[in-house]
Amino acid sequence: MHHGGIYEEEIAGKAYDTALLRRFARYVLPYRLSIAVVVLILPLVAVCRLAQPWIIKLAIDGHIITGRLAGLEVLAAGFLGILLFESLLSFIEVYLLQSVGQRVMSDMRSELYDHVMHLPVSWFDRVPTGSAVTRLTSDVEVLGEMFASGIITIIGDVLLLIGIISVMLWMNLKLSLVTFSVLPVLLYVAYTFRRRMRKSFREVRARLGSMNAFLNECISGISIIQIFNRERDEEKRFSDLNASYRDANMPVIFWDASLYAMVEALSSIAVALIVWYGGGEIIKGALTFGVLVAFIQYIEKFFSPIRDLSAKYSVMQGAMASLERIFALLDTAQDQGSVVKGQEKDLDFLLAPCPLTLDPEILIEFRDVSFSYQDGNDILNNFSLKVHRGERIAIVGESGGGKTTITRLLTRLYEIERGSILLQGTDIRELDLAQVRRRVGVVLQDPCLFAGSIEFNICLGDEQARQRVRQAAAAVGADRFISRLQNGYEEEVRERGSNFSVGEKQLISFARAVAFDPEILVLDEATASIDSASEQMIQEGIRGMMQGRTSLVIAHRLSTIHDADRIITIQHGIKIEEGTHEELIRAGGIYYRLHQLQFSET
């Protein structure tokens, strides 16, 4: 099932609310002025609410029962004025809180996005896309709900409760004690339900991430699902995930409804106690009718925030579960050296030259490099290779033999486990990550295009690359089809480049690599998706863009690498052969057999 594995780990563990909120406070501090205004408003709102039952008590005991109407209009006007003033304060309070919530969410999304952009590729190998998207969207949105529900107003609720208790005790001690006899039961219920709802909310967030991951996978592969008639099976799998998410929500609904019902019941019991005991005191002459009415209104105002507590608990527990997941993501280690401290805003350091070596002709050197994606299963095994400046190296071999891993290690998408890779004599792990990647241009087998114009997809928003867009497109032959488009370089690219052929998308990827003018060019099966008609054109462009550059070509189609300076054959992560095309053909080894298989028909 898609909802196992990583999600089960996220559900487990003890939560520390105080620690999470203390850490979350860092995002709220920049808006402390708005929060301070809200905090100042809260006591005023509490006073307005406390004054209303007291005014009614004065009107009943001092005017209505006695039949003295003089002055009653003053109390009525005062009551109306207090209501209007409370409404104004409430508007300011809600507006400020929700505006702060939106700003905090925006800040957190930006930080999360920036963090995700610098996570190692190995993290994305483990975590489904849907889970990552959930943390940047749904989990952050829950924090907005926390502000919208009035998390800060809990302070005002506490002030109101304290004020009500104080006024009721001052008005009549015995009646207050009778009324508050239900509080121990209320506190026990709230504490018990809080613990159970927290566990349920953690599971809800995990199941949502699982379902989002599955949806992302299905939508991305919709053509495969339809071609192989797997719609029914995928619907069944989605139904299982959907049911799992639904079932995870059921305990939340149960505890939420139970808490609300319990608070409502205790509120009714408290009112019943007031009527029972207060009515007797009125008959005895020990209590006025105005006090009894005021008590009933105060108890309604007392239980109102507690009644809302069930909804606030739901939002708060959802927020705590989301904060756990968000901070777990932020605590994930980024790529080492992804940003040089103190140079985050200075992009000039990206173009700084690397330290020179005694042999400047050796640009890249792999020294006994070993690497495994899983422990105990080496993909590369003591791989060594020296690449001279301007040299064109082709790497061939069986699928899964480690060819692509070589390029991933060179660009530090994965970190080397054993051995070293030197760039101009310096270990790439000692260089800034952005500096290394600035010098290496990569074209992959599966072209990746983004929403936007063709020009943007070639330069990716880089101003220096933007100046070379047309020159780069001409170098690889992409300008031929771009010039035929209605909007030329401003033609919009739909999602995943669906309005272009595979060959056209790959040509744009070629132009992108050239536009960034890299010193080292890596082509990872870059011509595998190109048709025969396009291949000749692309080969001409490749020869042009490789002029003066060092290049590593991972090739499956051996016809594209006959003129390489050296061809490296690897098998099971070990370098087996090395030489020119003619030398390896004469040797009659693995390369010769691969060549014979591909050209046996001739």
pLDDT tens digits along 360-387:
678 899 999 998 887 767 888 889 999 9
Report how far residue 572's alpha carbon sits from residue 381's, in angstroms, rounded to the nearest whole number: 8
pLDDT at 309: 62
**What is the model's pLDDT at position 387?**
92
For 64-104, write each residue's pLDDT tens digit: 877 777 778 888 898 899 999 989 998 998 888 888 888 99
Please give the residue that has the higher pLDDT: either 525 or 566: 566
Percent of the chain with pLDDT over 70: 85
Give the residues across from 525 on adjacent strands: none
- pLDDT above 50: residue 340: no
pLDDT exceeds 90 at position 218: no
Under 8 Å between Cβ of 6 and 127: yes
CA dihedral 106, 111, 116, 119 (to 10 degrees): 180
| Spatial distance between the Cα atoms of 142 and 148, rounded to a whole number of angstroms | 10
- What percent of the chain is predicted at pLDDT more than 90? 8
Please state, in angstroms and rounded to a whole number, the distance separating the CA atoms of residues 293 and 295. 5
**Plot region of 296 (φ>0 → left; ψ -120 to 50 → alpha; else → beta):** alpha
pLDDT(214) > 70: yes
Q: How far is CA 309 from CA 259, 313, 397, 418, 431, in A?
A: 9, 6, 65, 56, 54
Mean pLDDT of all residues in 581-600: 85
Whole-number average pLDDT of the chain: 80
Angle at alpha carbon of residue 113, lines to 112 and 119, rounded to 5°: 85
What is the reported pLDDT for 84? 94
Model confidence at 441: pLDDT above 90: no
Bridge partners for 553 per DSSP: 394, 523
Residue 584's region, left for phi above 0, alpha for psi from -120 to 50, else beta, is alpha
Instruction: Please name which of 330, 320, 314, 131 lies closest in space to residue 214, comparing C-alpha atoms.
Output: 131
Global pTM reads 0.70
Characterise 572 by phi-psi region: left (phi > 0), alpha (psi -120 to 50), beta (else).
left
pLDDT by residue (tens digit) across 442-479? 888 777 888 889 999 899 888 888 898 998 888 888 88
Which is nearest to 252 in space by CA: 205, 209, 188? 205
Please give the Cα distance from 151 to 148 (Å, whole number).
8
The enclosing H or E element of 571 equals strand 566-571
Report the C-alpha gap between 390 and 457 in whole angstroms. Answer: 27
> Is residue 524 a contact partner of residue 407, using CB atoms and an 8 Å limit?
yes
Q: Average of pLDDT values for 158-187?
A: 83
Q: Provide the 3-class DSSP secondary structure of residue 193.
A: helix
Q: Would the pLDDT of 41 be above 50?
A: yes
Give the closest residue to 387 by CA, choosing from 414, 346, 359.
359
388 burial via Cβ count (<10 Å: 0-12, 13-18, 19+): middle
Element (H, E) at 550: strand 550-554
Distance CA 250, CA 359 (A): 69
Cα–Cα dist 518/442, whole Å:
9
What does the pLDDT read at residue 336? 57
pLDDT at 540: 65
Handedness of CA 426, 429, 431, 436 (dihedral sign): positive
Closest CA to 522 of 442, 468, 450, 449: 442
Interval 244-258: pLDDT, tens? 888 888 887 887 778
Q: Which two tokens stand for residue 253?
A: 């609904």
Q: Does 54 have pLDDT greater than 60? A: yes
Residues 15, 324: contact at Cβ < 8 Å? yes
Average pLDDT over residues 275-292: 81
User: Looking at the predicted structure, is the pLDDT value of residue 352 above 90?
Assistant: no
Domains of the chain, start order: 17-330 (1.20.1560.10), 362-598 (3.40.50.300)
Q: What is the pLDDT of residue 393?
A: 92
User: In terms of Cα–Cα distance, which of 7, 323, 315, 2 is closest to 135?
Assistant: 323
pLDDT at 568: 92
The backbone torsions φ and ψ at residue 416, rounded to the nearest 5 degrees and listed phi first, read -65, 140
Give 3-state DSSP helix, strand, coil % of the chain, rounded to 5.
65, 10, 25
User: Residue length, the chain?
Assistant: 602
CB 317 within 8 A of CB 198: yes
Quick: pLDDT tens for 101-127. Answer: 889 989 999 999 888 888 888 788 777
Rounded distance between C-alpha atoms, residue 458 and residue 438, angstroms: 15
pLDDT for 338: 45
Please list the alpha-helical segments (H only) found in 60-120.
Answer: 72-117
pLDDT at 230: 76
CA–CA dist 472, 460 (Å, integer): 13
Name, of 75-79, 219-223, 316-320, 332-336, the range with top average pLDDT. Answer: 75-79
